[in-house]
Amino acid sequence: MTKKIAILGAGGWGTALATVLAYNSLDVKIWSHSEIEVENFEKFRENRRFLKGVKLPETLSFSVDLEDVLKGRDFIVLANPSQFQRSVLERAKKFIDPSSILVNVAKGIENNTLLRMSEVIREVLPECDKIATLSGPSHAEEVARKIPTVVVVASQNSSILPEIQRIFMNRYFRVYTNDDIVGVELGGSLKNIIALAAGICDGLGFGDNTKGALLTRGLAEITRLGMKLGARKETFSGISGMGDLITTCMSRHSRNRYVGEQIGKGRKLKEIIDEMVMVVEGVKTTRSAYDLGKQVDVELPITVEVFNVLFEDKNPLTAVEDLMLRDPKPEFYWL
């Protein structure tokens, strides 16, 4: 029997994953909040806003009706930006079958509650126990064009992982499994902060020495916080840790790196965000991680300086100098 998939969120990533699942001959419906967007999908068979030039499979269907999209679905892929995840779930919950498998693909930490996405899902849908997160170095622009990509799917409920792995995998999209959902979610979320810092370094005209140091110390910072929150250290050397960190900090596709670069060149955050179409997850995640570090008493020097640059109008050069002149430390210190 053909598996039936609902995708909530018609941005670049939700659409790219829809093409993967459609390629695998699955029945896929995409929900969008915009009637105009749905009309354009159906008329042009293309997501012209986020994936211009990528033709969408004829088998994909689209709707603004949550009940229509969710009814009878075996899998529900949650592709909304992290700060909108809760509000969409609140609207959708009366149509979600508790036996469905929920696959979060958003990368972020909710402001104020400081919850990871799987925690948000559990809070809104307490009767659902089949919750997973799929993450890794996976720019939508490349996935939609069938460029080989590797990701990881994680869940506390290990029984659902092989089935998720099976529906997504194909010749250009490979999926590994991991039972450390805390580490996978934090790696995918926190790397966006380091990508903002990497962009700032690019904007300031720094070189490879600086970028290499930033990625290494950024990974150490992510690992410290992750371990404090119950993640396994080795997860951060994997696909959703080091893999996603390197990709996001180096890629021309990275929105977070781009925003940082513009800030490094002297532009203001609001001006940059106002001209962008896509959500830049790292900006709000920086605030969440800053608060989370203080809450659990973990030192996050790069995150703190990115926070100060984004929200306290600190001069980026001063922030770099303050990082370089911190008290001497051993290379490895964890908690």
**Residue 274 phi, psi (nearest 5):** -60, -25
Nearest CA to 121 out of 155, 149, 147 is that of 155
332: pLDDT confidence band, cut at 50, 70 and 90? confident
Q: Could you count the other beta carbons within 10 Å of the beta carbon of residue 162? A: 10
335: pLDDT confidence band, cut at 50, 70 and 90? low
Res 89: pLDDT? 98
Q: Which segments within the chain are labelled E, that is strand?
A: 4-8, 27-31, 61-63, 75-78, 101-104, 131-135, 149-154, 173-178
Provide mean pLDDT across the span 107-135.
Answer: 98
Residue 171 CA to residue 85 CA, distance in Å, equals: 30
Provide mean pLDDT across the span 247-255.
Answer: 94
Residue 3 CA to residue 153 CA, distance in Å, equals: 18
**CA-to-CA dists, residue 170 to 24, 174, 192, 223, angstroms:** 7, 6, 27, 31
Provide mean pLDDT across the span 223-246.
Answer: 98
279: pLDDT confidence band, cut at 50, 70 and 90? confident
User: What percent of the chain shows pLDDT beyond 70?
Assistant: 99
Res 277: pLDDT? 82
| Domains annotated on the chain, with CATH | 4-179 (3.40.50.720), 182-324 (1.10.1040.10)
Res 54: pLDDT? 96
Dihedral, CA of residue 250, residue 256, residue 261 and residue 266, to nearest 10: -170
Residue 221 CA to residue 44 CA, distance in Å, equals: 44
3-state SS track over 44-87: HCECCCCCCCCECCCCCEEECCHHHHHCCCCEEEECCCHHHHHH
User: What percent of the chain shows pLDDT beyond 90?
Assistant: 96
| 26: its two tokens | 């699955």
Please write the tens of the pLDDT for every residue from 14-57: 999 999 999 999 999 999 999 999 999 999 999 999 999 999 99
CB–CB of 190/285 below 8 Å? Answer: yes
Mean residue pLDDT across the chain: 96
Using the predicted structure, report yes or no on whether residue 2 has a pLDDT greater than 90. no
Provide mean pLDDT across the span 95-117.
Answer: 97
Using the predicted structure, report yes or no on whether residue 224 has a pLDDT greater than 90. yes
Provide mean pLDDT across the span 145-165.
Answer: 98
Using the predicted structure, report yes or no on whether residue 203 has a pLDDT greater than 80. yes
Using the predicted structure, report yes or no on whether residue 1 has a pLDDT greater than 70. no
Provide mean pLDDT across the span 307-316.
Answer: 98
Using the predicted structure, report yes or no on whether residue 202 has a pLDDT greater than 90. yes
Instruction: Choose, from 71, 191, 233, 270, the residue flagged as catalytic.
Output: 191
Active site residue 43: no
**CA-to-CA dists, residue 202 to 142, 197, 255, 284, 316, angstroms:** 23, 9, 13, 21, 11
